[in-house]
Amino acid sequence: MPAFILGKKSVQTQRFDKLGERIPTTFIDTSLCHLIDVITPDKRGYFSVKLGFGQTKNIKKPVKGELEKAGIKTPLRFLREFRLEQYKDKITSIEEGKKKGVQIGEVKIFSGEVINPNIFIKIGDLITVSGISKGKGFQGAVKRHHFKGGSHTHGQSHSERAPGSIGMTTTPGRVFKGKRMAGRMGGERKTIKNLEVIEVKENGIVIKGLVPGAKGGLLEIRG
């Protein structure tokens, strides 16, 4: 079944499975995830839903207008779109009065309502989680790109972790773009697929494995 919800990385721990093996687990908190709008193909040329998550204090006026239109009084920090074109046969857009919504099977969700993970996520499902990885600052080529490093013999004493030669001679006489070198590491969008759901709650899910980002970081969950 298709799934789409926003959450944050909460508790990362471990537990024992049915076979007695110790496995890493992560609890993703999905409380206060609202459906803000349903975007239909006749409006923008594609089918998607817009979700909001994370309570904050100050928001910009355009965001405030979107939330008021959906009937949401809680100021939400994050707004994200989930394109659902691949689920056209399983999800249909509906409208009652001035409110738009989506219907998944027998479940109907309208704009302004809170989305719970137990609507479309079950134990044993495989989900995809996307988030921003932890920033590691400026790092060398050995840590950033897993270079082996220089030799430790034959008089080598001062450049064991140096990247080595990076350029050419006269032709072309420059360093190509994309050359793996030292630089800023982390802080990138990462996606992990096929994470197994081992527990589903009203305010979140517990998955087997680890997810990118620091504690409290925003996560996008897809089915």
The pLDDT tens digits of the residues spanning 51-88 come to: 999 888 889 999 999 899 888 988 999 999 999 888 87
Q: Where are the beta strands (DSSP E) in 68-118?
A: 76-83, 91-96, 99-104, 107-110
pLDDT of residue 137: 96
**Interior angle at CA 168, CA 162 and CA 173, nearest 5:** 125
Cα separation, 210 vs 35, in Å, equals 26
Cα separation, 213 vs 127, in Å, equals 17
Tell me the pLDDT band of 194, cut-offs 50, 70 and 90. Answer: very high
Cα separation, 21 vs 178, in Å, equals 42
Task: Please count the residues of the chain.
Answer: 223
pLDDT of residue 187: 94
Q: Is the pLDDT of residue 96 over 90?
A: no
Whether the CB-CB separation of 92 and 19 falls below 8 Å is answered with no
Domains and CATH numbers, the chain: 1-30+116-138+182-223 (2.40.30.10), 33-115 (3.30.160.810)
Whether the CB-CB separation of 143 and 185 falls below 8 Å is answered with yes
pLDDT of residue 139: 96
- Tokens in use for 95? 């409208």
- Tokens in use for 140? 């060398």
Stated as kind and residue range, the H or E segment containing 23 is strand 22-29
